Amino acid sequence: MSMGVVIVTGGTFGLGQSITVELARRGHQVVAFGLAQAQVSSTAQGFDSLMAALDGAGCKADVLEADVSSAADVQRVVDHTVGKYGAIDGLVNNAAIGPLGTVLTTDEPTFEHIVDVNLKGTYLMSRAALPHMIRGGGGSIVNIGSGAGWGKPNMAAYSASKGAIVALSAAMAYDHFHDHVRVNVAIPGGGGIVSGMSVGRMGGDLEAFKSRQAPGTAAGRPATGRDLANAVAFLLSDDAAAISGTVIDVGCFAHQGGPVPPTH
């Protein structure tokens, strides 16, 4: 899929924006969508920052406002993409919200909202895109996971939704093996990677977030959105033609109990 048509959910801000810009920079036709207003636990605001980042990279993308938890909105994005470009080759399910809380401190509407966006949104988007991928002879889906998918403190509902993404991805990889649709998970490592969600959880204080003691990565620095985007681009590419049903952890072994503590 050298120059494919790729939909990126939650592709307008934070890590999703990094993915949108990097894929567009590499020559993909990207259709990114998200919500213009900030979501719970995130610092996301509008689409201006994405437009500026695309301009800075000298590339373009289609940017739509849509809610991944709405089947009608998702269908509208798919209709736009297929109507304009005639195909869907890749899908990056990145949209997510991450309010903190235990089972006791998470109210029912918050629990339902997290599952609606993080899990149902991935299902709805995949369900709408898969027929077009299959009709086109195959494709690649990359679901953005989290180290919380194996359980982390004070992230009960978020962890549950992200653990479900790992299982859903493996099931989809089996189901669509013979359709030549590959399904993989990419996990942004917890070594200080700056995302709208992680900063939002610290009250939106970017400097406080950056000054925390973070173990970083084997590269000797915290991971960036572009590090994640590079792994996503690989999983979408023909270089990964034989790879499905797996997890790539970008950063610091978040799916194996990491990150590694910093040395002092």
Annotated active-site residue in 85, 123, 158, 174: 158
| Amino acid in the structure at residue 216 | G
| Amino acid in the structure at residue 142 | V
Structure tokens at 40: 């719970």
Q: Does the annotation mark 158 as catalytic?
A: yes
Phi and psi at residue 226, to the nearest 5°: -70, -35
| Parallel, antiparallel or unpaired: strands 90-93 and 62-65 | unpaired
CA gap 74, 88 in Å, rounded: 13
Cα 88 from chain centroid (whole Å): 17
Contact assessment for residue 118 and residue 155, using Cβ atoms and an 8 Å cutoff: no
Helix axes 48-57, 14-25, angle to 10 degrees: 30
Give the SS3 label for residue 74. helix
Give the SS3 label for residue 263. coil
Q: What is the DSSP letter of 145?
A: -
Contacts of 176 (CB under 8 A, 6+ apart): 130, 134, 182, 183
Catalytically annotated residues: 158
